[in-house]
Each structure stands twice: as C-alpha cells, then as structure tokens.
Amino acid sequence: SCGANRPQTEDPIFRCPDPVRQQTRRNLLPQLQIDLQDIQTAPDLLRFIMTGLHRWIQTGRDDYKPTRRCFCTLALSQSAIGWAQIWRGRISLEFASHQEKFFRRNHADSTKCTGPLWAKKFIVRLWDFFKILWKNRNDALHPDDPAAAARLHLAALRTRVH
C-alpha cells in the first residue's frame, strides 16, 4: 500500500501511488471545491486555492506562481509558510485579506461575512478533507478484517525478506 514504515507526514496521504488512494483523491478534490463554494469563497480565490493545492499534491513543491498578479503576494506568503502547512491550519493572512475584499465589493453583511471568519471556515473544510483522506489511508493500512490484515502483514514481511 502506501509505505506503512515511513515517518508520519502528509506525503503518503497525498502521493500514495495505490490506485484506490489516487481515485479517492480525484473524487474528493471536486467535493472540496464545492465545500469552499458553500462558504462563499471568492471565485478567483477559489481557483487560486484549487490550483495551488492540486500543484502541491502533484509535485510536493512550494513554488506555485499564479498567473494573476493580484495573487503573487498570497502565493509568496503561503509558499514561505509551506503549502503542506495548510493541512495544519497554517494559512497566510493574505487569504483572509483577499476574501475580505470580495465580501466588501459584494456588499456582504459585515457582521457575518468577514475575511477572518471565512478563514476559520476554510481551515475547517481543509481539515475535513484531510480527515477523510487520512481515514481512507488508515483503513487500507489497518483493516478491521483479520484476513486483510494478515495479507498486509505478510506483504510487509515479504518486502523485508527480499
């Protein structure tokens, strides 16, 4: 599966070559996009987020350079933090700033729709996404079915012998 003996990082969750894990990721990314739309994410910010996450998931690199100039500062600031840090809730303050501008341009209720409130919702949606991927990976590595667990254990032993 995804390397049960590796240190626990995000990499096996996002880059596991197992076809089932890959399909799960492909299925969940559109749901994340829907979840971010549900919290009224600015459309251009949503494209930036999805492109940045997709790039990080595919390459593991923190050097995303957006084509739109207005996102250069955001990209640089998140790259300085690290795109992997998003899954820990460590996001650039620029996300909230961009979202705040969107809310103000669209005359959203300033008591309910603010950049900082949106940022909290954004982090929760990211954590929900990560939790599903984590559970999917753990279920594959540590199945409840004793026969499946035995097959995994045997495969791990074979890898050590060869």
Cα–Cα dist 109/134, whole Å: 36
What is the predicted pLDDT for the residue at 50?
95
What is the predicted pLDDT for the residue at 122?
98
How much is the average pLDDT of 11-36? 84
Q: What are phi and psi of 59, to 5 degrees?
A: -115, -25
Q: Which two tokens stand for residue 15?
A: 């880059």
The tens digit of pLDDT for each residue in 56-91 reads 888 888 888 888 889 999 999 999 999 999 999 999
What is the predicted pLDDT for the residue at 73?
94
DSSP classification of residue 52: H
**Residue 106: what residue type?**
N
**4-8, 45-49, 143-147, 152-156: which has the minimum mean pLDDT?**
4-8
pLDDT above 70: residue 6: no
The answer to whether 58 and 71 have CB atoms below 8 angstroms apart is no
- Return the H-helix or E-strand segment holding 136: helix 115-141
- Return the H-helix or E-strand segment holding 86: none
Q: What percent of the chain has pLDDT above 70?
A: 85
Q: Which two tokens stand for residue 44?
A: 């251009």
The tens digit of pLDDT for each residue in 139-153 reads 777 777 777 666 666
8 — pLDDT class (breaks 50, 70, 90): low
How much is the average pLDDT of 31-60? 94
